[in-house]
Chain A
């Protein structure tokens, strides 16, 4: 029998996570499409069918998956969204601004539910408001908050896009669908009223004691028909009630006796309620009514009736949905084996046929049965797994069914047999019987041979494919929209990043060691040369000795022999040693190692880049939320605003995108709320009525530049200066020396806010100072450009990643320091006599302006050689975007990529140092905090 396959908690969690990730993408496209549609509708244009379909599919897919994992609130809500979108795409409903609002409301509820699912693990949120709005719009009522002003405002503005062509077409289409809908309503009312009359009549007859068994049948049929018709006009209230009535009557008509009085009474109540409702509909009131109490009464009655069971016996079956255990042709039961033999006897081909009943199908077992019937008409079903009786109809999962099927029809003809709605042909493979045969040992005794393995092999055979099928199921689920990404815990990536950093450092260490080794070899070479010399002189000694000895031969051979031996031994040893210390081998090895190290270098930097890439996400994720934000703010403060976005594909570190959301939100709020004038003010100037806020991003070297600009009134430096003075942020003296640019910079001062009236949006206590701090914490900078009357532009410059920076390595006081390359503007040579002092500060002249030199010992605890020593010095000019200072360095090492290691907690307050890194030689190098140094210098 079929294996039951239950989801473990882990699996469920995994599916939920996958679902969340998937839903995120769908939400994104929903949001985008809704915004796009809103713009088009407001502009009097038609929304593209593709977009509507996309939205529909998004809602549909979320619904499907949600119901698969029992997220009933989500599936219910998305189902309703889907209904609205479905009507829109089938032109049964106009795509109006109201519809957009309803969908947005539903979208918000859905986001909230998904958020809840993320944090709480369930979807028990309240979505009644959204559902009510959907219900209203579906029933044709105007939702409570209609958006007259915006809708009315637009057409007044003569549209540039040939309105004659577009608008009439749409209105025609909509009136047509209204007409069509009206036709349904008319048919429904007429039809139902007749049925009600007949129902009443019969009930009255029965009450009078005039009973015919056929009456119950008729009553049953009538309620059934009312139910069906109500379904067409989507009147759930009527559908629900008539369904209950039908249920009651269904049980009664088999008894063929007049119903008890309390039942008749209730049926009267029911038909009266339906009558009232239909009359209401006729008079134009299309709002659904709540039949709740009545339905409950029917349910009570049903429960009471159920005590005497007459209903059809339900097939109880194990819940084995979504996966069909594979049929093993070598593990058939006796009955199946006989059928297989029969097929073979007919010389018919045997196929492995898998079909799937779609998840939405309400009566899967019935479809399975239909498929079985249709297949068996054309051939022999040898085996079917699962049997239709084992299919659980209440399941919302896709059900795969596998057949071992034999037919005289050609393989091409088979798909037609299962050409059934909601049934999909998954696979059809011809089984090579010749190949299968040897696997079946006793052909003479097929029953026994086949039956025995059936028992043993089946559970095993069933187990594996279950998983496989489940995986397939998942795949097919995500197939419609390509989801080619997966979720990875950020900590894992962080760890990987860290390891990649270590690898880079280790690689550098290797290069260093290699260098040392080379030096070692060359000194070894010298040693060897020395050996050679000794060897040579030894040879000389040997020869000399031989001469001497031969002349003294007469003195006897023993001493001579010993001496000869000794000298030879020493010579041999020398030779051996010098051969052993031959550098040839080592040189070769070093060469190989050099090559390997170079490979390692390439690989490690590839790995580092790769890991970096995994952390890189398009900024789109952050940007897209602002479309909605701008829309909402604009609506709240009644400004007409459009948001232009560019460069949303620009990628940057996920960690940074996460941090960017808040400051950007604030800046965009400011732009819409303060930056842009209100409509009247804009009218007064020559500006287009619609204000534009631009949000853009682009790569610049290792930085991402983000621009937030508006075409509003611009910043007034004097107004800002006055405000700052009033708030005692700055003294009058200081003000006088400030440039306009510096004055504008005052908006970043703590406690500054230019809002004259605190609206609900800006002025929430979060000022630009906080924004600036947030950006600076990302090693970024903020720059303002503004022109009175023309608009304001904020430019953010943020490093792409927090993990690796390009740095200039310098030596100061025998310590290596790193300066982030983007803050280095140039390096100049300075002769001692070029340094002079202004107000005690060492200064040099850099082209036509002065540059103060920072005395680093005042910032960090190092001893810097005093300027003015005899030799020429190098000065690195650093900048924080506004100010420049110079730092004297003792030595320049060069540019390098360094991996930033954050400092331990107890060092984080050290001013002037922002982090540390490890160099190739294992030395620690501190990274100078340019911003802090410049600030300290002033």
Chain B
């Protein structure tokens, strides 16, 4: 059974890229969100198995969204997708309970590995 993914990023191109990579790996992208607020709504609605989460986003950033999602579901698997210079935020995300992270710009291989491992 293919696993359901929710992609959260304010850049459509990144979502597109992630989608292409992961769909080829038999993941089902059930939803996409532009910002943290949408992310939480979609998470409640779609109950995805895994979320990829950008950090720097309008409305509500990825850290807050991560926190909220974990409040809703403490077993939520959220993989952060961020640039390397977001160290401090990333650290916060890790402490909050992100299962892994992917550094932008990424190689396909990194995405596949990270998501596969996170999905278990």
- Listed in ascending order, the chain A residues whose CB lies under 8 Å from chain B are 86, 90, 180, 183-184, 187-188, 190-191, 218, 220-221, 224-225, 227-229, 231-234, 239, 246-247, 250, 312, 362-363, 366, 369-370, 373-374, 377, 416, 419-422
Contact of A370 among B10, B85, B94, B113 (CB under 8 A): B94
Contact of B58 among A218, A231, A374, A421 (CB under 8 A): A218
Given the interface pairs A90-B108, A221-B56, the reply to whether A419 lies near B120 with Cβ below 8 Å is yes
Which residues of A are found within 8 Å of B94, using beta-carbon distances?
Answer: 366, 369-370, 373
- List 27 A–B pairs whose Cβ atoms lie within 8 Å, in order of A's numbering: A90-B108, A183-B16, A184-B16, A187-B12, A187-B16, A220-B56, A221-B10, A221-B56, A225-B10, A231-B104, A232-B14, A233-B13, A234-B105, A247-B85, A250-B85, A366-B90, A366-B101, A370-B98, A370-B100, A370-B101, A373-B95, A374-B99, A416-B120, A420-B99, A420-B114, A420-B118, A421-B113
Which residues of A are found within 8 Å of B110, using beta-carbon distances?
Answer: 421-422
Tell me the bound Cα distance from A184 to B87 in angstroms.
27
Residue of A nearest to B82 (CB): A228
B102 A224 Cβ-Cβ under 8 A: no
Tell me the bound Cα distance from A443 to B97 in angstroms.
36
A228 B83 Cβ-Cβ under 8 A: yes
Which residues of A are found within 8 Å of B91, using beta-carbon distances?
Answer: 366, 369
B13 A232 Cβ-Cβ under 8 A: yes
Which residues of B are found within 8 Å of A234, using beta-carbon distances?
Answer: 105
B117 A86 Cβ-Cβ under 8 A: no
Which residues of B are found within 8 Å of A188, using beta-carbon distances?
Answer: 13
Tell me the bound Cα distance from A232 to B104 in angstroms.
8
Tell me the bound Cα distance from A70 to B62 in angstroms.
36
Which residues of A are found within 8 Å of B105, using beta-carbon distances?
Answer: 228, 231-232, 234, 239
Tell me the bound Cα distance from A478 to B97 in angstroms.
36
Q: Is the interface of A mostly helix, strand, loop or mixed?
A: helix
CB distance from B26 to the nearest CB of A (A): 17
Q: Say yes or no: is B107 at the interface (Cβ < 8 Å to chain A).
A: yes
Tell me the bound Cα distance from A362 to B105 in angstroms.
11
CB distance from A510 to the nearest CB of B (A): 64
A421 B13 Cβ-Cβ under 8 A: no
Name the interface residues of B47-97: CB closer than 8 Å to any CB of A: 56-58, 83-85, 87-88, 90-91, 94-95, 97
Q: Say yes or no: is B30 at the interface (Cβ < 8 Å to chain A).
A: no
Tell me the bound Cα distance from A421 to B114 in angstroms.
4
B107 A86 Cβ-Cβ under 8 A: yes
A221 B57 Cβ-Cβ under 8 A: yes
Q: 6 extra interchain contacts, Cβ-Cβ under 8 A, other than A221-B56, A419-B120?
A: A191-B11, A221-B10, A416-B120, A420-B100, A420-B117, A422-B110
Contact of B103 among A184, A190, A362 (CB under 8 A): A362
Tell me the bound Cα distance from A377 to B113 in angstroms.
22
Tell me the bound Cα distance from A420 to B118 in angstroms.
7
Which residues of B are found within 8 Å of A228, using beta-carbon distances?
Answer: 11, 14, 83, 104-105
CB distance from A75 to the nearest CB of B (A): 16
A224 B100 Cβ-Cβ under 8 A: no
Name the interface residues of B9-58: CB closer than 8 Å to any CB of A: 10-14, 16-17, 20, 56-58
Residue of A nearest to B111 (CB): A421
B88 A184 Cβ-Cβ under 8 A: no
Given the interface pairs A191-B12, A228-B11, A370-B94, the reply to whether A421 lies near B20 with Cβ below 8 Å is no
CB distance from A646 to the nearest CB of B (A): 39
Tell me the bound Cα distance from A232 to B17 in angstroms.
8
Given the interface pairs A180-B20, A221-B57, the reply to whether A229 lies near B14 with Cβ below 8 Å is yes
Which residues of B are found within 8 Å of A233, using beta-carbon distances?
Answer: 13
CB distance from B37 to the nearest CB of A (A): 15
Which residues of A are found within 8 Å of B13, using beta-carbon distances?
Answer: 184, 187-188, 191, 229, 232-233
Residue of B nearest to A92 (CB): B108
B83 A421 Cβ-Cβ under 8 A: no
CB distance from B38 to the nearest CB of A (A): 16
The 7 closest A-B pairs by CB, nearest first: A231-B105, A421-B114, A187-B13, A421-B113, A419-B117, A229-B13, A228-B104
Which residues of B are found within 8 Å of A422, using beta-carbon distances?
Answer: 110, 113-114
Q: Which of A234, A362, A419 has the most CB of B within 10 A?
A: A419
Residue of A nearest to B16 (CB): A187
Which residues of B are found within 8 Å of A312, using beta-carbon distances?
Answer: 87-88
Which residues of B are found within 8 Å of A183, using beta-carbon distances?
Answer: 16
Which residues of B are found within 8 Å of A374, using beta-carbon distances?
Answer: 99
Tell me the bound Cα distance from A632 to B75 in angstroms.
61
A225 B56 Cβ-Cβ under 8 A: yes
CB distance from B87 to the nearest CB of A (A): 7
Tell me the bound Cα distance from A228 to B14 in angstroms.
8
Tell me the bound Cα distance from A184 to B104 in angstroms.
16
CB distance from B108 to the nearest CB of A (A): 6
CB distance from B118 to the nearest CB of A (A): 7
CB distance from A904 to the nearest CB of B (A): 62
Which residues of A are found within 8 Å of B17, using beta-carbon distances?
Answer: 184, 232
A421 B14 Cβ-Cβ under 8 A: no
Which residues of A are found within 8 Å of B85, using beta-carbon distances?
Answer: 246-247, 250
Residue of A nearest to B107 (CB): A86
Which residues of A are found within 8 Å of B113, using beta-carbon distances?
Answer: 421-422
Tell me the bound Cα distance from A96 to B113 in angstroms.
29
CB distance from B67 to the nearest CB of A (A): 15
A224 B99 Cβ-Cβ under 8 A: no
CB distance from A145 to the nearest CB of B (A): 30
CB distance from A231 to the nearest CB of B (A): 3
Which residues of B are found within 8 Å of A421, using beta-carbon distances?
Answer: 100, 102, 110, 113-114, 117-118
Which residues of A are found within 8 Å of B114, using beta-carbon distances?
Answer: 420-422
CB distance from A79 to the nearest CB of B (A): 12
Q: Which of B11, B16, B98 has the most CB of A within 10 A?
A: B11
CB distance from B49 to the nearest CB of A (A): 15
Which residues of B are found within 8 Å of A184, using beta-carbon distances?
Answer: 13, 16-17
Given the interface pairs A221-B56, A232-B13, A370-B101, the reply to whether A363 lies near B83 with Cβ below 8 Å is no
Tell me the bound Cα distance from A362 to B99 in angstroms.
17
Residue of B nearest to A192 (CB): B13
Which residues of B are found within 8 Å of A369, using beta-carbon distances?
Answer: 91, 94
Which residues of A are found within 8 Å of B12, using beta-carbon distances?
Answer: 187, 190-191
Residue of A nearest to B79 (CB): A421
Tell me the bound Cα distance from A86 to B85 in angstroms.
25
Tell me the bound Cα distance from A86 to B110 in angstroms.
13
Tell me the bound Cα distance from A362 to B82 in angstroms.
12
CB distance from A234 to the nearest CB of B (A): 8
Which residues of A are found within 8 Å of B101, using beta-carbon distances?
Answer: 366, 370
CB distance from B101 to the nearest CB of A (A): 7
Given the interface pairs A366-B101, A373-B95, the reply to whether A229 lies near B11 with Cβ below 8 Å is yes
Tell me the bound Cα distance from A419 to B113 in angstroms.
10
